[in-house]
């Protein structure tokens, strides 16, 4: 493969599977490799420079944001702000920081989806234990979801008939002062990851539950399988991801008796499901896309 003379870094985490795939793909094409972990950067306001281990990141042609933190928290919003400063110096960021903001916490993402008319399972967000209990009793069963999380970490099922419901809500609220309670929907043992690159449909994989828990995340025992979705599902996912203008994303869709519904849109999206289920190297495609985007912008005289 002929190498192009571009320096594109990857914001991610050391030894992260998708991060390493992205680094490998870019290095193969450009001969340049730089992992940027956000805890190691500093922004020098006096000189307007974002520096990583002594390297001025404004010297890069672009950066791909693969993973902004090992665990999501409100601190991640500050990291997005630093990346926005980097973008302001002329570095092309994939995906743009403005596109990532609404997807760092679950509540912001849900507001954007609902305002965009995207069907989702019934959801209640509250700080009140009384309102939370009323919501569970009205909805029958809910999945309590932390606002800042990934791969189903910290999620908990709560059911109206459980005599310990109030105690479970109190325990959940202790860790999650703002409670996000989403109706537990009857699903066919799987949910779908519908993936887009540059707004164009790429492929779909299924996450299949092995435990019958309703949690299909691979971190909770689920497995990946290839899947051919209906045109309806693809168009629903396309509409959902278009609300954010992301370069690469995965839309989590669930098939229900009332039609397909969206759980969430990912700010970053992973590569493993596409590779294992669909034999598709998303890192390679993303690297080609990033290079072509930067080259086209330069040819057109824009960043």
Kindly compute the dihedral angle of the four CA atoms of residues 217, 219, 223, 225, in this order, to the nearest 10 degrees.
60
Classify strands 92-94 and 62-65 as parallel, antiparallel or unpaired.
Answer: parallel
Distance in angstroms between the alpha carbons of the first and the last residue of the chain? 26
User: In 89-228, where does DSSP find H-type helix?
Assistant: 97-104, 106-115, 129-139, 165-175
Integer Rg of the chain from CA: 20
Indicate the fold that domain 123-183 takes in CATH.
Dna Ligase; domain 1 (3.30.1490)
User: CA-CA distance, 272 to 252, in Å (whole number)?
Assistant: 15
Predicted pLDDT at 303: 55
Task: Kindly give the confidence (pLDDT) of every residue in the chain, 303 residues in length, as a single tens digit, with 9 standing for 90 and above.
Answer: 568 899 999 999 998 999 999 999 999 999 999 999 999 999 998 888 999 999 999 999 999 999 998 887 888 899 999 999 999 999 999 999 999 988 988 999 999 999 999 999 999 999 999 999 999 999 999 999 999 877 678 899 999 999 999 999 999 999 999 999 999 988 878 899 999 999 999 999 999 876 555 554 554 456 899 999 999 999 999 999 999 999 999 999 999 989 999 999 998 888 999 999 999 999 999 999 999 999 999 888 765
Predicted pLDDT at 217: 55
- Decide: 164 and 136 in contact? Cβ < 8 Å: no
Q: Which residues pair with 193 in a beta bridge?
A: 205, 252
* Planar angle of CA 66, 69, 154, nearest 5 degrees: 115
Kindly compute the dihedral angle of the four CA atoms of residues 205, 148, 103, 281, in this order, to the nearest 10 degrees.
-30
Which numeric CATH code is attached to 186-267? 3.30.470.20
Instruction: Return the domain boundaries, the chain.
Output: 8-95, 123-183, 186-267
Q: Is 204 helix (H, G, I), strand (E, B) or coil?
A: strand
Quote the crossing angle between the two packed helices 97-104 and 106-115, to the nearest 10°.
Answer: 110
Predicted pLDDT at 211: 59
**CATH number assigned to the domain with residue range 8-95, chosen from the 4 options 3.40.50.170, 3.40.50.20, 3.30.420.310, 3.40.920.10:** 3.40.50.20
Predicted pLDDT at 277: 95
Predicted pLDDT at 260: 95
Q: pTM value?
A: 0.90
Half-sphere exposure of residue 210, counting CA atoms within 13 Å on the CB side? 9
């Amino acid at each position: 493969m002929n190498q192009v003379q571009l320096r594109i870094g990857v914001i991610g985490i050391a030894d992260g599977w998708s991060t390493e795939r992205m680094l490998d793909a870019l290095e193969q094409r450009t001969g340049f490799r730089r992992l940027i972990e956000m805890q190691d950067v500093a922004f020098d306001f006096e000189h307007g420079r974002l520096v990583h281990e002594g390297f001025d990141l404004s010297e890069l042609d672009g950066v791909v944001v693969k993973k902004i933190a090992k665990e999501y928290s409100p601190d991640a919003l500050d990291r997005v702000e630093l990346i926005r400063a980097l973008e302001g110096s002329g570095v092309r960021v994939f995906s743009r920081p403005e596109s990532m903001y609404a997807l760092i916490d679950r509540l912001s993402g849900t507001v954007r989806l609902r305002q965009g008319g995207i069907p989702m399972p019934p959801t209640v967000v509250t700080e009140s234990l009384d309102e939370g209990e009323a919501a569970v009793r009205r909805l029958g069963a809910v999945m309590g979801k932390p606002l800042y999380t990934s791969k189903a970490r910290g999620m908990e099922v709560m059911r109206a008939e459980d005599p310990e419901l109030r105690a479970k809500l109190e325990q959940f609220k202790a860790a999650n002062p703002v409670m996000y309670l989403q109706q537990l929907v009857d699903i066919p043992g799987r949910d779908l990851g519908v993936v887009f690159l540059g707004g164009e449909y790429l492929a779909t994989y299924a996450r299949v539950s092995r435990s019958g828990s309703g949690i299909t995340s691979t971190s909770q025992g689920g497995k990946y399988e290839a899947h051919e979705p209906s045109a309806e599902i693809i168009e629903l996912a396309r509409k959902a991801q278009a609300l954010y203008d992301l370069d690469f994303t995965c839309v989590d869709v669930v098939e229900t008796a009332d039609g397909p519904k969206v759980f969430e849109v990912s700010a970053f999206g992973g590569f493993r499901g596409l590779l294992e289920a669909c034999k598709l190297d998303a890192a390679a495609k993303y690297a080609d896309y990033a290079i072509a985007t930067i080259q086209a912008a330069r040819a057109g005289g824009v960043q």
